[in-house]
Structure 1
């Protein structure tokens, strides 16, 4: 796939390199800075793949460095090449914390070892950090030696030569448990009149495995219609589809431990889990939903005097549900002062560094409505009314025991054929605000 991998600074100068094949001269990297400048001049968006004299440069930028993969093959999978570079950054972050020019120079020994293990003859091999950390350590900057003096040869963990490379053998727990969290984040843009302009559900199924041996898990969900009939076996992603309830699935991706052939044929999720925490699957839904936490914010600006803000918040969820840690951030002009608040629930605070009022409500039961009023002075005013802030209101919240999409876990079966132990699966549901849950003001 790759003839060589280079680490370059922002000027394109080589910091560190690893060559896997000899079909590209070492001087080819010297052309990379020129190609980068030419691409920036031609277009505002630089493509992630450039070519020159039959050499193809695939690259990504991270902090103050470029990671460049070079090849002569025209049939290369560019997406796979870029995915490897991003995965390389994730692995290096586990070892050196911050991946930047200085850390690359200070830790070149461990980076060379990782490059040798993660790729063989230009083909990706081991990319699981848990497996790499078993025999490549950060403290010693060298491979762990065998305990026997007569054998100093480094032996890779046995699981690297097996089909289950993400889980070592010999794991033992006194209490065998599996924790599964279904977390859905809601991104939404709402007009001042309450109309939903854009909505999106980003879902994740997280698993914490504390199981002995080599367990085989089977996960059953309440609606198979949420999944597509065709899944890309290369990376676990699936094309869009529509299920009976008209929920349109935009994206679906599984962890590598899931048996994709089994899922494609029978729509059953079976897997041997890694030990500890991992993300089993994630998905995205773009479907019209009503606002879970709705805020009606009205801002009145009085010339030469003050600004008044009235906020009415409503929890538009089922009465048996409760929104926790609700935080409503209302923007205000930069030069306000002398804040005065009137409210009966939660706490209100003016944050001048953010030019905003933050209203926090610890528990917000479904079906309830709360209100808050604020009055602030405007010292620097003119005869013309002060323009209102164009920034929207931001809302944060968490709703336990609830999913917006309606996904429910019907069962999580654990089978360990050798140990035959009794396991204890636990399931939690959380719906929370995403990074972009905003409401426009009037």
Structure 2
């Protein structure tokens, strides 16, 4: 069971990197993949079969990372490989975006060749890759600008060491003794009438990126009242995980009793813990659409209510297909104190609505008047994409992050961040 082809596409379908892993004929594969993406949109599963080929993909920073094979392979295994590839590219290139990959295409190809040899998984650890990769990363314009501001100089060479995770773009002396822990959660929700969900899933990951000196022991403690796979008699507000798994380097022997994870952080970024919450989920946004079809016009209203805590905020965008016969669209947004914009894209028969910032416990309204002869069945579905910083939808929290480090390493810094975003948040009429 081997992989056949690896490629990276931009959000517009441009091929940024493509490697035939077994020398097989893969002509047109990226184009076929992007055609399916455009046809199915947000409903496209991360694994699908097309013309005798299995496609596995993940999306990061607006880019598609894809592998193909003609063999039956475990999806979790292949998606984990893609996750590790994206982590390695980010560690070496400093950031993961289109500009960074275009500037570092030689380095990216070298990393892929070391990680996937003739379609088989090989070196997947950043610390091992550092010994095998010899190209240097080229800093992006944004990274150079930040570095120049930090150092106040313009004569710095425009290359950085390849192991970016350990030697950042600022001078080596500017590196702090610090560790970053991100609690990242993605929600997949299907809403029906009255915003009652038909299906809801939270997929969470605890990412760790360490710049600590000496690779010390780390103890990461989560909620003491965290429940695993048991909803009977659950008190309100207590987080319940239906599934969880840990990175191979994490010692979870204490987790059952104390909810403490112990590990020695490796070079680069890794996922210390993955988890899922199925059903019985508190929804951060309520979508309430109404359609009023009259003889001369149709009034379409969407009300989005933020159920986030009052101290939290988020941004979101909505896309909603309209009937093909739509014309003469007029849009009104309320309230006008919230930064937002909306437009009707006639070539796509689609309504888009962007809200840059909505505070918790508040609502925004889009009112749309149009001429159309379509029925209610031609409206939707409504797709909402959002990101809510400082918020954990599952209520999983880091109780403490303890660094057990010897003397002589100076002050260590700990940073914990929470981000909840949408994987697929859909309202179906």
Structure with the greater alpha carbon radius of gyration: 1
1:426 — aligned with what?
415
3-state SS in 2 of match to 1:200: strand
Q: Which residue of 2 aligns with 1:340?
A: 330
1:366: which partner in 2?
360
TM-score w.r.t. the length of structure 1 is 0.61
TM-score, normalised via structure 2 length: 0.63
Cα RMSD over matched residues?
Answer: 4.7
Larger deviation: 125-134 or 313-322? 125-134
Tell me: CA distance 1:114–1:134, structure 2 relative to 1, closer, same or farther (3 Å).
Answer: farther
1:3-43 alpha-carbon deviations (Å, 9 max, x no partner): xx68599xxx9638xxxxxxxxxxxxxxxxxxxxxxxxxxx
Kept after mapping to 2: 8 A contact 1:91/1:129? no
Mapping of 1:157-168 within 5 angstroms? none
CA deviation digits over 1:107-153, x for unaligned, max 9?
Answer: 8999489649x98xxxx8743144124224469xxxxxxxxxxxxxx
**Conservation of the 8 A alpha-carbon contact between 1:242 and 1:249:** no
Distance 1:79 1:64 in 2: 13
Contact 1:219–1:412 (8 Å) recurs in 2 = yes
Q: Does residue 254 of structure 1 match 2:241?
A: no
Structure 2 contact 4–67 (Cα < 8 Å) conserved: no
- Shift of residue 283, structure 1, vs aligned partner: 0.8
Deviations 1:84-128 (A, max 9, x none): 897399659959x9xxxxx9xxx8999489649x98xxxx87431
Tell me the secondary structure at the aligned position of residue 15 of structure 1: coil
Q: Deviations over 1:182-233 (max 9, x none)?
A: 1222221121222222111111212221211121111111225334xxxxxx
Q: Does 1:391 align with 2:372?
A: no
User: Are 2:392 and 2:418, in contact at CA under 8 Å, matched by a contact in 1?
Assistant: yes
2:129 alignment counterpart = 132
CA spacing shift, 1:210–1:45, aligned 2, 3 Å = closer
Distance 2:385 2:3 in 1: 42
258 and 135 in structure 1: CA distance in 2 versus 1, 3 angstrom threshold: same
CA distance change for structure 1 residues 172 and 222 in 2, over 3 Å: closer, same or farther? farther
Distance 1:430 1:85 in 2: 21
Tell me how far 1:293 sits from its aligned partner: 1.3
Unaligned runs of 5+ in 1: 17-43, 49-58, 70-77, 98-102, 140-165, 228-239
Deviation at 1:427, TM superposition (A): 1.4
- Is contact 1:184–1:201 with CA below 8 Å preserved after alignment? yes
- Would the alpha carbon gap of residues 167 and 319 (structure 1) be closer, same or farther in structure 2, given more than 3 Å must change? closer
1:319-342 residue CA offsets vs partner (Å, 9 max, x unmatched): 2222x2222223211231221112
Q: Structure 1 stretch 273-282 or stretch 196-205: which is displaced more?
A: 273-282
The corresponding residue for 2:181 is 180
Q: 2:300 matched to 1:309? A: yes
Decide whether aligned partners of structure 1 residues 313 and 260 sit closer, same or farther in structure 2, where only a CA change above 3 A counts: closer
Separation in 1, partners of 2:300, 2:69:
48
Look up the match of 1:214. Answer: 215
The runs of 5 or more residues in structure 2 that have no matched partner are 7-20, 25-47, 57-65, 97-104, 137-164
User: Match of 1:163?
Assistant: none
Aligned length: 333
**Corresponding residue number in structure 1 for 2:343:** 349
Distance in 2 separating the partners of 1:14 and 1:426: 42
In structure 2, the CA distance between the partners of 1:264 and 1:138, relative to structure 1 (3 Å rule), is: farther
1:407 to partner: Cα distance: 1.6
Taking the aligned partners of 2:384 and 2:78, their CA distance within structure 1 comes to 36
After superposition, the Cα gap between the structure-2 partners of 1:357 and 1:284, relative to the gap in structure 1 and judged at 3 Å, is same
2:277 alignment counterpart: 285
Is the Cα contact below 8 Å between 1:247 and 1:285 reproduced in 2?
no
Q: Is the 8 A contact 2:127 2:267 kept in 1?
A: no
CA 268–340 in structure 1, closer or farther in 2 if over 3 Å, else same: same
Matched, 1:401 2:390: yes
- The equivalent residue for 2:423 is 435
| C-alpha contact 2:319 2:351 (8 A) present in aligned 1 | yes
Contact 2:220 2:260 in 1 (8 A): yes
Q: Secondary structure at the match of 2:394?
A: coil
Could you say which residue in structure 1 is the equivalent of 2:23? 15
